[in-house]
Amino acid sequence: MYHINSQDRKDIQGLLVYGYAQLRSAYFIIFKIENVIGFKSWLSKTTFHDSGKGPEGSCLNIAFTAKGLEKLVGDKSKITKEAGFDQSFLEGMDTDNRNRILGDYDYNNPANWKWGNRNDETHGVLMIYAADDNLRDQVYKTESEKFQEALSEKYKSKSVRLNNDKEHFGFADGISQPVLRGLERKSNENNLINPGEIILGHLNAYDKRPLSPKIDGCDFGKNGSYMVMRDMQQDVKSFWKTLMKYGEDPIRIASKMLGRWPNGIPLSMAETEAEAINLKQEKEKKLSRGKLTAFLNDFQYYENDKDGLKCPMGSHVRRGNPKDTKNEDPKHPNEVSNKHRILRRGKSYGKPLAESMEIKDLIAAIDKPDNEERGLNFICFNSDIKRQFEFIQQTWMNNMKFAGLYDEVDPFVGVQGKYDKQADAFKMLPTKFSEPACPVRHKYNDIPPFVKVRAGGYFFFPGISAIKFLAE
Amino acid sequence: MYPQNAFNLISEIADGKMNDLRQDLDAIQKDVEDNPYFNFTTIATIHFARFVILEEERDSFGKIIYPAYLAFETNYDGKLDDHLKDIVEHTKLNNGFDKVFCACKTFPGKDVITDTDRINFLKTNSQFNPYFYRGTWGRTVLQIKAEEETRNKIQSHLDKNPHQGFSERDMYKRLKEDVKPSFYNTEHPPKLSSLLWRLSPIILLVLFCLLYTLVYGLYFVLCLIQSWYLIVILPLTLHFLIIGVIVTLALTASVYYIILRHKEKTDKELKIFYDPNPDTISLKTVEDRIVQNQLTHLVELKPGSFRLFTLKMVLFLIETFGIYHFNKGNLGGIPSIHFARWIIIDKGKRLLFFSNYDGSWENYLGDFIDRAAVGLTAVWSNTKLFPKSKNLIFEGAVDEQKFKSWTRMHQIPTQVWYSAYKYLTVGNINNNTALQDGLKKQTVMTDKKLKEWLLKI
């Protein structure tokens, strides 16, 4: 019923299924189509990697904004909700209402974005992945010679692979991921979601097929997905400076805010960082890479941690996927929260503050002069943007009242805003963080923003046959 | 008599008054907490209030099907008479009351209008029977605010004074010494057992009928076998009535079920998976400004008295369960509704729904589907174009995309909306009461209870 057959697999672009962790180098090229005929001819001659076989050497993937599809199809009236396109995708990331719920105001104001705001003509993103920098540059050179007449590059982001699969603050990244039913990967039952939650044309969490676009009789949406991209700039120095202020053990407090120890071990599996390091080493010896990830996601909240004494309610990982925090149905503990999952495929950019990515080295470097812009190109896939990506950002990350809390948002990506009557606009307030403890909670006040949104957009990530349709 | 109640006025708007009314309502909404005309903040008994214009509807020949109405609702504490007096008292300054309500056809057209006239106007235009749900049972606005203040005192005490290394008992003692709780007592909701007690005559009657049928049936069969005709005829005439009633009830239920299934199979449903309402963008513009949100929803019933009867029966059951069972801030599993009500208007032709809830629309609708689909399918499957239901309570709302599209399609703008405690969720209010109760406690808490209480801070 949920099986994705080999024909479908060959139709799904490779990034979605494989994630390309082993392709260390990538370019994300935000482009504008200058010449439709030229672009179509390039599109028809180019091979985009599909999920039929694993990646080798280098891979190309592509996604389009609503403006880009309008340009290629040449008829605005075909790219509409009536045709079956997602409403959020059609409107784009930068609208007044969406700014308010996503927290894109004040320091995140889209007016200052590198690309993707409402006045900007972004038509799509071309993603080049390769095993190393040389190969990537070589592929880029060959392709750009072919498409140079057809499109103009608005922005090019070069990815970086940080030591030990970490992100810039020093924590292991990309662990919390749902597993798709029918893709033959092992996972614990609570972490499985139906393929239609991510891939159009398949059954979703309600056992229905998600709204999927059709153009001129072509099943355009089939095996495609909606891709959300956000350029999130990280202020690593300010992060560790602030944490040093809060006490003797900044790594412990930062881990409480994140919900995992720096090496990715969940807080509920280890009381101290030393314990977490031992546990990880022990498991790394025994388990394959895939099984290790499954192990790191194999924990629940209600039974052992319902009050957040181990993993605080307000921590990033718990907010991002609350699992059975509310304990509504012990038989299907994660059923409700699993209706709001996303498949993350982001990559970091910018030189790290310390090459080793060890937190002690990052802390040692906080006073070093450095103007490097660093952050994460957040990429995620979902089939219903408002029920998945936007829901997580609004109802979990930016929600001051999440899981019984009163007055705090996600310490990493949340934005705590208040309507300012005089300015008729939302203003950002510093947030707080409560850590449940004995005898009473610890509270960390005046947390400044560590992450700023610098660009973003909603894309359609077509299946291979839909790409062929666009090229005609 | 319950501690919190619902007032709803719905009155036809007089010809030529619409434009002024819109402007006045806009002016009130612009500064809903501090406007000179209708200052809700000064009316201390109001939890939530709203003004809504129900727009006129015409058929394709231009004939009016439904005239334009002004709807005004409040969720208030105490007795109706006191509440209406309160409203009139606090809104006649700057002529606010008359300015708004003079748009109604039935507003007294005299030169000098007295407070009695105003109260009478409110009363005569509010003869509706709302089906009402209360999320924060038994707490007045004053209590909710006082308990929030106590919590803030606890927080600032903890922020200012170190507490590392304290034992749990010491911590509790410290807080008890330094923070004075408010003096409000929570009025507790009636228990489910009291409903059973009230229903006991009916339950007994039903049991009696069942037992009777069984015993009498056996007796009858026995008589037939033994051919004791005379003994059969006597009790038969005597008890014919009871048997008749039982058979009629069973037949009615079967006929009802057959009609229901037939209607469910043939009723039209919404076929689209996207939100077709062009006004949704403006609905979204006023959403997510404070912690709570409001929903006003207006939809036509399916024609015929069958649907009207079913709807009334379902709403009655929901209201009753709301009072006796779902009275801890949790309507059928939804933990985020402060108050909600259904009103049947236009002589049974339309269903109006008002709700005050926490968090985002997407979350609220998701809760509807994941936790309360049965109840709301039973209600709204009696209205037009609702996604196909089965046996009254199944399917329907579970069809997520269609259900969300259908809801937005019938959602209408709320011109004025006021909340007395705009930064508190139902969860916060419940938690504040628990904090309060712990602080007031005269007896010694067990270690486990004390730990649980400290975690609520």
Nearest CB among B275, B285, B425 relative to A96 is that of B285
Q: How far is CA B79 from the centre of its chain?
A: 18
Which residue in the block uniquely carries the two structure tokens 């399918």?
B377
CA distances from A60 to A55, A129, A139, B120 (A): 10, 6, 9, 74
The answer to whether A23 touches A130, Cβ cutoff 8 Å, is yes
Whether chain A has a CB inside 8 Å of the CB on B428: the answer is yes
Q: How far is CA B231 from the centre of its chain?
A: 56
The whole-angstrom separation of Cα B385 and Cα B382 is: 9
Nearest CB among A96, A211, A443 relative to B159 is that of A443
pLDDT for B223: 75
Whether chain A has a CB inside 8 Å of the CB on B278: the answer is no
Coil vs helix vs strand at A28: strand
Provide DSSP, B368-392.
HHHHHHHHHHHHHTTBTBPPPEETT
pLDDT for B324: 79
The whole-angstrom separation of Cα A82 and Cα A68 is: 18
Distance from CA of B376 to the nearest CA of A (A): 17
pLDDT for B229: 63
pLDDT for A424: 82
What is the full per-residue pLDDT of chain A (472 aa) written as tens digits? 788 999 999 999 999 999 999 999 999 999 999 999 999 999 999 999 999 999 999 999 999 999 999 999 999 999 999 999 999 999 999 999 999 999 999 999 999 999 999 999 999 999 999 999 999 999 999 999 999 899 999 999 999 999 999 999 999 999 999 999 988 677 888 999 999 999 999 999 999 999 999 999 999 999 999 999 999 999 999 999 999 999 889 999 999 999 999 999 999 999 999 999 999 999 999 999 889 999 999 999 998 899 999 999 999 999 999 999 887 777 888 999 999 999 999 999 999 999 999 999 999 999 999 999 999 999 999 999 999 999 999 999 999 999 999 999 999 999 998 888 788 888 999 999 999 998 999 999 999 999 999 999 999 999 999 999 999 9
pTM over cut 0.90:
yes
List chain A residues with CB under 8 Å of B454: 438-440
Question: What is the dihedral angle through the alpha carbons of B435, B440, B443, B449, rounded to the nearest 10 degrees?
Answer: 0
Closest C-alpha to B345, from B299, B376, B380: B299
Mutation target vs A (from B284, B447, B452; most A CBs, 10 A cutoff): B284
Mutation target vs A (from B401, B403, B451, B456; most A CBs, 10 A cutoff): B401
List chain B residues with CB under 8 Å of A384: 401
pLDDT for B135: 84
DSSP character for B180? P
End-to-end CA distance of chain B: 33
H or E segment at A433?
strand A431-435
CA distances from A358 to A22, A289, A351, A362 (A): 21, 21, 14, 6
What is the full per-residue pLDDT of chain B (457 aa) written as tens digits? 678 999 999 999 999 999 999 999 999 999 999 998 999 999 999 999 999 999 999 999 999 999 999 999 999 999 999 999 999 999 987 889 999 999 999 999 888 899 999 999 999 999 888 899 888 888 899 999 999 999 999 999 999 988 888 999 999 999 999 998 887 877 777 777 777 777 777 888 888 877 877 777 777 777 777 766 656 565 665 567 777 778 888 999 999 999 999 999 999 999 888 999 989 999 999 999 999 999 999 999 999 999 999 999 999 998 888 887 777 767 777 889 999 999 999 999 999 999 999 999 999 999 999 888 898 899 999 999 999 999 999 999 999 999 999 999 999 999 999 999 999 999 999 999 999 999 998 889 999 999 999 999 9
Half-sphere exposure of A181 (CA within 13 A, CB side): 18
Distance from CA of A372 to the nearest CA of B (A): 36
The whole-angstrom separation of Cα B137 and Cα B337 is: 11
Provide DSSP, A194-251.
-GGGTSTTS--TTSSPPP---BTTB-TTTT-EEEEEEEEEE-HHHHHHHHHHH-S-HH
pLDDT for A326: 82
Which residue in the block uniquely carries the two structure tokens 């402007």?
B23
Nearest CB among B151, B288, B457 relative to A440 is that of B457
Nearest CB among A87, A100, A399 relative to B274 is that of A87
The whole-angstrom separation of Cα A43 and Cα A472 is: 9
DSSP character for B313? H
pLDDT for B232: 59
The whole-angstrom separation of Cα A312 and Cα A298 is: 18
Q: Do A401 and B291 touch (CB under 8 A)?
A: yes
DSSP character for A159? B
Closest C-alpha to B131, from B346, B316, B377: B316
Q: What was the ipTM of the complex prediction?
A: 0.94
The whole-angstrom separation of Cα B107 and Cα B113 is: 10
List chain B residues with CB under 8 Å of A84: 273-274
The whole-angstrom separation of Cα A64 and Cα A31 is: 9
Q: What are phi and psi of A218, to 5 degrees?
A: -85, 135
Residues paired with A443 in a beta bridge = A434
Coil vs helix vs strand at A109: coil
List chain A residues with CB under 8 Å of B409: none
Identify whether A195 is preceded by a cis peptide bond (ω within 30 of 0).
no
User: Which pLDDT tens digit goes with each residue over A368-418?
Assistant: 999 999 999 999 999 999 999 999 999 999 999 999 999 999 999 999 988
Plot region of B391 (φ>0 → left; ψ -120 to 50 → alpha; else → beta)? left
pLDDT for A216: 93
The answer to whether A106 touches A246, Cβ cutoff 8 Å, is no
Whether chain A has a CB inside 8 Å of the CB on B447: the answer is no
The whole-angstrom separation of Cα A208 and Cα A210 is: 6
Q: What are phi and psi of A35, to 5 degrees?
A: -140, 105
Distance from CA of A334 to the nearest CA of B (A): 12
Coil vs helix vs strand at B432: helix
Whether chain A has a CB inside 8 Å of the CB on B158: the answer is yes
Q: What are phi and psi of A448, to 5 degrees?
A: -75, 165
pLDDT for B28: 95
Question: What is the dihedral angle through the alpha carbons of A460, A465, A468, A470, rounded to the nearest 10 degrees?
Answer: -40
Q: What are phi and psi of B9, to 5 degrees?
A: -110, 135
End-to-end CA distance of chain A: 33
User: Which pLDDT tens digit goes with each residue over A123-142?
Assistant: 999 999 999 999 999 999 99
pLDDT for B246: 80
Which residue in the block uniquely carries the two structure tokens 């070589």?
A138
pLDDT for B234: 57
Which residue in the block uniquely carries the two structure tokens 């007096």?
B85
The whole-angstrom separation of Cα A304 and Cα A301 is: 6
Which residue in the block uniquely carries the two structure tokens 């388990």?
A287
Q: Do B158 and A440 touch (CB under 8 A)?
A: yes
pLDDT for B175: 94
Q: Using DSSP bridges, classify how beta strands A375-382 and A225-234 pair: parallel, antiparallel or unpaired.
A: antiparallel
H or E segment at B171?
helix B168-178
The whole-angstrom separation of Cα B301 and Cα B313 is: 14
Distance from CA of A339 to the nearest CA of B (A): 9
Q: What percent of chain A has pLDDT over 70?
A: 99
DSSP character for A403? G
Nearest CB among A97, A206, A211 relative to B398 is that of A206
Half-sphere exposure of A452 (CA within 13 A, CB side): 18
Radius of gyration of chain B (CA): 27
pLDDT for B230: 57
Closest C-alpha to B428, from A228, A340, A402, A383: A402
